[in-house]
Structure 1
Amino acid sequence: MKRLLTVVLAIVLSSALAIAQEKAAKGPVITFEADSKDFGDIKQGDKVENVFKLTNTGNEPLIISNVAATCGCTVPSWPKEPVAPGKTAEIKVSFNSAGKMGKQNSVVRIYSNATEPIEKVSLISNVLPK
């Protein structure tokens, strides 16, 4: 009787886990090729830029509603049209090191209708004097 109860419980838990995973997979999902870029040493006043490539690995169109940087020295641009499932898009981020010194980590937040509604990418650099 105990074994039967254990087997039934295991089946019920496995089914619940499978259903939860299936529900989590529905909707748009952002998958980045890389979520950070380290430029190493740059000189004060240099402007650097990176393109973050993403794929919608979900099963519904991805809509990026906003992309916001942590400071005015970092400027993002992003696609305004929906990204279809399986398709790719690019978020371009530029960093101006004027007035900055030392280690910099500029974080950019991506707001969307994805299953994870806020994603982050970052630009890292070490700003040296001119």
Structure 2
Amino acid sequence: MKSLKFTLFAAAGALLLTFSANAQSAAAKNTRTATSEQKNMQPSEISWTEDSHNFGEIEQGTPVSHEFTFKNTTKQTVLITNVKASCGCTATNYTKTPIKPGETGSVTATYNARNGGNFNKTVSVTTNDSDVKKVLKIKGKVMTPAVEAAPAKKQ
């Protein structure tokens, strides 16, 4: 009987130690995850020359482009991991090679001026040093050509 009590007591103790170790491991993992999430949720430390551009009045049917430049002011090599335009009327191009500290990179936004009227578009840029996207903005007004009235036919 004593042997059975001792065995049950030992099993309960081992089970308690296992649960305790798992709880401590999970708490440590949650702390590491929270720390890395906090780091990634901070804005990127790269320095953009500008984050918006106004094309003003542009001619319909003539695409316009603007190059947004930045300098890597961090202590690590930066890589642009994703660039996404807000619509299909804006094309993008960007520096695809790693940008070392002190070097510069760029993102070019090209707007297809097919439709007349005002436009406000965005380009979201993600880098490897932050999960927070940098939003670049372009705007302007597409001017439609004046349509001349056809002269009346003489009869």
Q: Tell me the TM-score normalised to structure 1 length.
A: 0.73
Return the offset for 1:87.
Answer: 0.9
- Kindly report structure 1 stretches of 4+ aligned residues shifted beyond 2 Å: 114-117
Return the offset for 1:93.
Answer: 1.4
Residue 138 (structure 2) aligns with: 123
What percentage of residue pairs aligned between the two structures are identical?
A: 31
Q: Secondary structure at the match of 1:59?
A: coil
2:61 and 2:78 mapped to 1: Cα distance?
36
Paired residue type of 2:63 = K
Unaligned runs of 5+ in 1: 1-22
2:108 and 2:136 mapped to 1: Cα distance?
11
- Tell me which of the two structures has the higher relative contact order, counting C-alpha pairs closer than 8 angstroms and 6 or more residues apart: 1
Residue 7 (structure 1) aligns with: none
Return the offset for 1:116.
Answer: 5.8
In the TM superposition, what are the counterparts of 1:1-130 in structure 2 within 5 Å?
Answer: 29-98=45-114, 100-115=115-130, 117-130=132-145
Unaligned runs of 5+ in 2: 1-38, 146-155
RMSD: 2.2
Q: Tell me the TM-score normalised to structure 2 length.
A: 0.62
1:69 and 1:61 mapped to 2: Cα distance?
24
Return the offset for 1:105.
Answer: 1.0
Paired residue type of 1:49 = S
Paired residue type of 2:140 = S
Larger Rg: 2
Return the offset for 1:30.
Answer: 2.0
1:75 and 1:103 mapped to 2: Cα distance?
18
Question: Which one has a larger percent helix, Structure 1 or Structure 2?
Answer: 2
